[in-house]
């Protein structure tokens, strides 16, 4: 955790608060902090060896992006999204990804396309090895490449933001039975559509791909609730 000081010369040329924001976001996304955990500014300040100010700035930005929630005068907590909020976000994500796909089908460069195929190949390898974490990573690359392929920087930025926000939850349901295999098959259809330049199919497949994740998660939550483990 304390591996951050080896960046630049003392004093740091890169804005400290921004670095902290990324660090915290990563920590949350990677599950280092669990949803519902309290993020104590003073503790974080000690941990990252700075004052409360940049911590505060990082936290408010994370709050704005929806990754943490502030309870006024009570503390800041890692966002614990309700099922409704989650489904809503997956709905929007599906639409944005579908849009990325539609645009990418027409605009994607050959380089990006081949990189996409490489990512898909890496996904396949992880799938065959049952390497869930590896798949998780390569899956992120896969989607990121499609965002870039849309050649709409603003869209790509928004998609990345939502992707990051949903990451912790997305990761959960990759462990579902045969989810890796079906996910990879869906990817395959998407790649085919993109290669063919078939915008409608790419859009439809990508939207379905993401929506399915939302539904799968819904199932997961339902089953967890049935087991008496409150997920939220």
Partner DNA sequence: CACCGTCCTGTTGTATACAACGATCTGCGC
Partner DNA sequence: GCGCAGATCGTTGTATACAACAGGACGGTG
Residues that bind a copy of itself (CB under 8 A): 13, 15, 57, 60-61, 64-66, 72, 85, 88-89, 91-92, 95-96, 99, 152-155, 158
> 54 contacts which partner out of a copy of itself, DNA, none, CB within 5 to 8 A by kind?
DNA
In the numeric block, which tokens belong to residue 196? 């063919």
Asked if residue 64 binds DNA (CB under 7 A), the reply is no
Q: What is the x/- site pattern for DNA, positions 32-51, by CB under 7 A?
A: --------xxx-------xx
Which phi and psi (to 5°) does residue 75 adopt?
135, 170
Closest to DNA by CB, 19 or 106: 19
In the numeric block, which tokens belong to residue 202? 């790419």
Closest to a copy of itself by CB, 26 or 153: 153
The minimum distance between CB 56 and a copy of itself, in angstroms, equals 9
* Stretch touching DNA by CB under 7 A, among 55-63, 159-167, 180-188, 208-216: 55-63
Asked if residue 6 binds DNA (CB under 7 A), the reply is no
Residue 157 class from Cβ within 10 Å (0-12 exposed, 13-18 middle, 19+ buried)?
exposed
CA separation, residue 66 to residues 62, 78, 188, 198, 221 (Å): 6, 9, 31, 34, 20
């Amino acid at each position: 955790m304390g591996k951050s000081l080896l960046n630049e010369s003392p004093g740091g040329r890169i804005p400290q608060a921004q670095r902290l924001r990324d660090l915290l976001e990563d920590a949350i996304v990677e599950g280092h902090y669990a949803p519902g955990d309290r993020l104590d500014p003073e503790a974080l300040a000690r941990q990252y060896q700075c004052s409360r100010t940049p911590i505060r700035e990082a936290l408010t930005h994370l709050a704005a992006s929806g990754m943490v929630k502030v309870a006024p005068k009570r503390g800041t907590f890692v966002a614990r999204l309700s099922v409704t909020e989650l489904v809503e976000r997956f709905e929007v994500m599906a639409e944005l990804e579908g849009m990325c796909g539609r645009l990418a089908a027409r605009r994607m460069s050959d380089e990006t396309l081949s990189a996409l195929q490489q990512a898909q190949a890496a996904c396949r390898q992880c799938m065959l090895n049952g390497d869930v974490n590896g798949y998780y990573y390569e899956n992120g690359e896969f989607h990121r490449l499609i965002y870039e392929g849309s050649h709409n920087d603003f869209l790509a930025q928004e998609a990345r933001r939502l992707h990051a926000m949903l990451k912790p939850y997305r990761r959960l349901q990759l462990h579902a039975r045969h989810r890796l295999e079906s996910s990879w098959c869906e990817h395959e259809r998407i790649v085919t559509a993109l290669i063919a330049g078939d915008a409608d199919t790419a859009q439809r497949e990508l939207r379905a791909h993401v929506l399915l994740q939302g539904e799968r998660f819904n199932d997961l939550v339902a089953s967890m609730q049935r087991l008496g483990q409150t997920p939220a």
